Amino acid sequence: MKRLLTKEKKRSIKDAYKRNAVFRVIDAAYKEQEVQMQTLRFSPEEIWANCFYGFDQILKNREKIEDVTKRMWNDTFCELRDDAEEAGREFKTDELKTATSCIIYSIIACLMASEEWELIQHTESLMSQIAEHSDLDTIILPFDKNIDASFIEYIMKYIDKRNFISEKLDTPHSYVDPIKPKLTTKDRLKVKKGIKKRLEFMEGVLPDRETLIMNTSDYNEMIEAVEYLIENNVVKKQDKKILTQLPIAHLRYTFYLVFKNEGKCIRRDLWVEFLGETFSQMQDNQASLAKHFSDRPKDYDNYLKVKKKK
């Protein structure tokens, strides 16, 4: 595997792995370093690819992990330097040290997330290697600030699956996440259709009075925002918040059901963010959204039997 990527491979990786939990953390954490490395322009996609290259080496060579990890920093640095020279990419030594340290700390985070002592015990050696060459805080803090539970869950599943990402990185047409494959156009259409069916009751009226839950334009805007999230894995910014007459608990639980059933392809935290960003009545309740997301109101079923608007 080449340590450095072509523009085509960077685009292909971003497209295929944008839902990958490790990619999301690395992309968020090391954007600042990428900007600072103006000559090398070492991208998050390259840090991510090299992270899996090193992590997979460790997983494949458990019987000699100590030997692999002892030379991990130096091997990575030298191979990056050689690839950069071959590709005609100029760099400064400090820039390359920073890039190498970002890769090694990404590997450390994956080892820690495994919750396997056989792997975790070697992180101290890797941390010492980073400390010899880089300021630890500038490498660690951006990463730790962005790591979340989905990262840990992903790594544990990845180890069990033993379908190594690094083995596919030379051939862009074979890019696919072994744990969370990219949705096809057909898959996305199916998800959208299912969600729209679940939300169609919101075109009706409240069960106890002749009041529309939502007007047509707001309903359509809500569906458009949902479809934007499915297509882009990003919450659409709503300058003008959407109004519904559903009680807060009922609206919140409706989208919990969307997440639990039709919208599992989108992370739970993004559905919570969607509620806070999209609906006007959520603006004063954002602090409790995540905590009460799955709370079911006692009379919830009554709202699913609302009459259609006349």
pLDDT band at 306, cuts 50/70/90? low
- Mean pLDDT over all residues of the chain? 90
User: What is the tally of structural domains in the chain?
Assistant: 2
Average pLDDT over residues 3-19: 87
Residues 6+ apart with CB under 8 A from 193: none
| Whether 168 and 68 share a structural domain | yes
| Whether 60 and 163 share a structural domain | yes
| Whether 30 and 147 share a structural domain | yes
Secondary structure letter of residue 244 according to DSSP? -
Q: pLDDT tens for residues 104-143?
A: 999 999 999 999 999 999 999 999 999 999 999 999 999 9
Q: Which of 101-110, 214-223, 297-306 has the lowest mean pLDDT?
A: 297-306
Query: Of the residues 174, 201, 236, which one is the last residue of a structural domain?
Result: 174
Q: What is the pLDDT of residue 215?
A: 93
Q: What is the pLDDT of residue 308?
A: 59
Percent of the chain with pLDDT over 70: 98
Give CA–CA dist 99/44, Å, rounded.
10
Give CA–CA dist 50/2, Å, rounded.
9
| Whether 141 and 215 share a structural domain | no
Average pLDDT over residues 238-259: 93
Per the structure, the complete domain to which residue 33 belongs is given by 7-174
Residue closest to 180 by CA, chosen among 154, 210, 147: 154
**From residue 122, how far is each of 101, 160, 176, 195 by CA, in Å?**
16, 20, 29, 45
| Whether 125 and 252 share a structural domain | no
Task: Say what the pTM is.
Answer: 0.67
Max intra-chain CA distance, the chain: 74
Query: Of the residues 127, 147, 174, which one is the last residue of a structural domain?
Result: 174
